[in-house]
Structure 1
Amino acid sequence: METVNSAFQYCEQLVHDFEKVITKPIAHQSAVYYTGVDLGTAYIVLAVLDEHYRPVAGAYRFANVVKDGMVVDYVGAIRIVRELKQELEQKLDTELTYAAAALPPGTFTLDAGAIKHVVQGAGFEITSLLDEPTAANAALRIKDGAIVDIGGGTTGIAILKAGKVIYVADEPTGGTHFSLVIAGAYKLSFNDADQYKQDPQNHRELLPVLRPVIEKVSSIISHHISHYEVKGIYLVGGTCCLQGIEELIARQTGLPTYKPQNPMFVTPLGIALNCTSEIL
C-alpha cells in the first residue's frame, strides 16, 4: 500500500491544488497557459495550468452535449466551452490560447474531428488529442496496472506496462446507467436521480441498489484485462466519486482497486498536463 500511496501523492496534491483554484484562481503572470478540455457526458471541465504545469484556474458545468462518448450537440458544446473559456480568461486577466482534449479510447475514427472542432470553435488552438485513460495517467503516473475511467456514458480502460499503454478499450456503461437505475428504483425523474446520486450522504444506501450495474462495469473490466497480467486497478472519472464503488469492483475482479480522493478531476488535469504550445 505504501507504493500505491507514493504513486498517488503527486495526483492527490495536484487535485487538491486544482480544487482550491476553482474557487480562488491564481492570477499571476505566466509566459504561457495550458488548458485541458474534458468533454464529459455529465460535465464539461476546463483545467488551466501555468508555464510550470501548476493549477491556476478551473471551471466546470453540467452539460448534455455528449452521449456515450460522442458529441451529440455540437453547437451547444462549443457554446459551453467558449463561455467557460471566457469566464476563466476574465478571472486570470489573460487570453487562453492553447488547449488539449481527450475522448474515450476506440472513438478516434468516429469522433476525433468533432472534439477537435469543438475546441477550436471555442477559440482555442488545439495542441494534443489523446484517449482519456492515457491522459489520466499523466496525473496518476502509474507504471503498471489498469486505469479505468468511468465517466457519464462509458467505461474506458487503459492497460499499462512499464509506463507504456499497451491496450485500450471503451464500452458504453457509466454514470448515466447508474442514474437510470436510481430513477427506476425510487420513481424519480432522471435529473432528480442524478442529483440524488451526487449527494455523498446517499451513497451507502445506493450501493445495494447500484450493485448490478457496478457488477456490469466490473465484468467489462475483467473481460478486457483477462489476457494481461494486471496487478491493480486505478479508478478515475466522476462516477467513481460513489463511495464504496472501489470495494465492490475489487471484490468482483479479485484485484486491488484504488481511487484518488476526487477522481472527477484526474482526467481533465491529465489532459492539461499533455498540453503544449505546439499546435496540431
Structure 2
Amino acid sequence: MSRTMAEVNRLLKKTAGLINKDTEAPFQGEFRVGVDLGTADIQTIVLDAAGNPLAGYMDWANVVRDGVVVDFFGASQIVREQIRRAGARLGISIERVTTSFPPGTDSRISTNVIEAAGLEVAGVIDEPSSVAQLLQLDHAAVVDIGGGTTGTAIIEQGRVVCSRDDATGGRHITLALAGHFGMPYEEAEEMKRTSKDLALCRLASPVIAKMADIVHGHIAGHEVPAIYLTGGSCALPGFLEVFAAEFPGIDIVMPSHPLYLTPLAIATYSQVSQPCEERVG
C-alpha cells in the first residue's frame, strides 16, 4: 500500500524549511544521512532514525552531467562542506552516508565522490528505487525531470523492472525561456527557479509536451495506473496541469516540493548511524 502523499508532503515541507539553515540544533540519537548528486544541484539530507528531517543543505552546481561527474574536485568539496555544516548544526560526527545514481550509469561515479569527500559509503541505490521505497509504490511509474533528461522507471511489486532515460529536461525549459526573452542562460535559469508567473509555463509548454511524449514511449505496454513526478523542474507553476493533460486516464501525482523528493528518499533508505558523544565544531 502506498504511503499517503499527505505524509510525504509533511516531510518535504519540513525539509524545505531546513535547507541551508545553520542555526545550532543539538541532536542526540541515531540518524540517517543521504547525499544526492544531481545534474543541477547537490543535496545532503539528515534524518532521525524515524525518518524525520533534522538538517538539509543544497548547492546549485553544474558538476554532474547525464550521470557523469564533470567536476570531480568541485563535487567532493561541496559534499564535504555540506557534511561539515550538518555536523556543526546538529553536534554530531557524520562519517557514513548513502548516495544514489541514475539508472543505467555506474554507481561508482557517485561513490567515488563520497569517498573523495572523506566519507564512508554506507549504501547506494538507484534514484527511482529510492523514491519507490519512500512512497511504498507497488505498481506505478516514477518520472524524474532532471536537468538534462527525462527518466522513467516502471515499478512492479515494489521493484524497478524497467528504466529509460532520454534527452530533454530542465535545461531545455531554460533554453526556451532564454530564447524567448533574449536573455543569458543564467538569468533565464534564475527566472525559472523563482518566478510564479504562469506565462512561463505556457512558453515552455512545447518542451513539457516533448517530455510527456518521451514518457509515453517509456511506459508503452506497461499499463501503469499512476505516474509520480520528481525533480525541481516539475515545480514550475503550471507544469503539472500541462503534463497531466497528456495522460488522460492516468493519475499524475506531484509532491509539494519535488526538488527535495529524491534526496529525502535517499536519506530514508540510508542505514542509521550511531551518535557521537563529543560535539562537533
TM-score by length of 2: 0.90
Query: In the alignment, is residue 80 of structure 1 matched against residue 78 of structure 2?
Result: yes
Give the counterpart letter for 1:231 in structure 2.
P
SS at 1:44 equivalent: strand
- Aligned with residue 257 of structure 2, among 246, 256, 262: 262
Deviation, 1:90, is 1.0
- Describe the superposition over 1:103-143 as per-residue Cα deviations: whole angstroms up to 9, x where unpaired: 211113xxx22211101111221122221111122332222
Partner of 1:151: 146
- Aligned with residue 187 of structure 1, among 182, 187, 190: 182
Deviation, 1:277, is 5.3
- Describe the superposition over 1:146-196 as per-residue Cα deviations: whole angstroms up to 9, x where unpaired: 111112122221111232222112222211111111111111111100001
Query: In the alignment, is residue 93 of structure 1 matched against residue 91 of structure 2?
Result: yes
Partner of 2:50: 52
**Does the CA-based 8 Å contact 1:69-1:154 persist in structure 2?**
no
Distance 1:147 1:26 in 2: 34
SS at 1:218 equivalent: helix
Distance 2:151 2:48 in 1: 28
**Does the CA-based 8 Å contact 1:25-1:56 persist in structure 2?**
no
Tell me which moved more, 88-97 or 157-166: 157-166
**Does the CA-based 8 Å contact 1:145-1:160 persist in structure 2?**
yes
Task: Point out the structure with the larger helix share.
Answer: 1
- Describe the superposition over 1:206-258 as per-residue Cα deviations: whole angstroms up to 9, x where unpaired: 11211111111101100010010111111111111112212222222332211
**Does the CA-based 8 Å contact 2:75-2:113 persist in structure 1?**
yes
SS at 1:230 equivalent: coil
SS at 1:271 equivalent: helix
Partner of 1:170: 165
Partner of 2:236: 242
Structure 1: 5+ residue stretches without partners? none
**Does the CA-based 8 Å contact 2:140-2:154 persist in structure 1?**
yes
Deviation, 1:26, is 4.1
Partner of 2:28: 29
% identity of equivalent residues: 36
- Aligned with residue 12 of structure 2, among 15, 20, 25: 15
Distance 1:27-1:169 versus aligned 2 partners, 3 A rule: farther
Give the counterpart letter for 1:217 in structure 2.
M
Distance 1:271 1:151 in 2: 16
Query: In the alignment, is residue 212 of structure 1 matched against residue 206 of structure 2?
Result: yes
Distance 1:40-1:186 versus aligned 2 partners, 3 A rule: same
- Aligned with residue 251 of structure 1, among 232, 245, 249: 245
- Describe the superposition over 1:38-93 as per-residue Cα deviations: whole angstroms up to 9, x where unpaired: 11111111001122322111110111101123211111100111111111111111
Give the counterpart letter for 1:65 in structure 2.
V
Distance 2:5 2:186 in 1: 33
**Does the CA-based 8 Å contact 2:208-2:243 persist in structure 1?**
yes
SS at 1:105 equivalent: coil
Partner of 2:277: none
Distance 1:138 1:191 in 2: 35
Give the counterpart letter for 2:70 in structure 1.
V
**Does the CA-based 8 Å contact 1:149-1:155 persist in structure 2?**
yes
- Aligned with residue 269 of structure 2, among 261, 271, 274: 274
**Does the CA-based 8 Å contact 2:153-2:162 persist in structure 1?**
yes
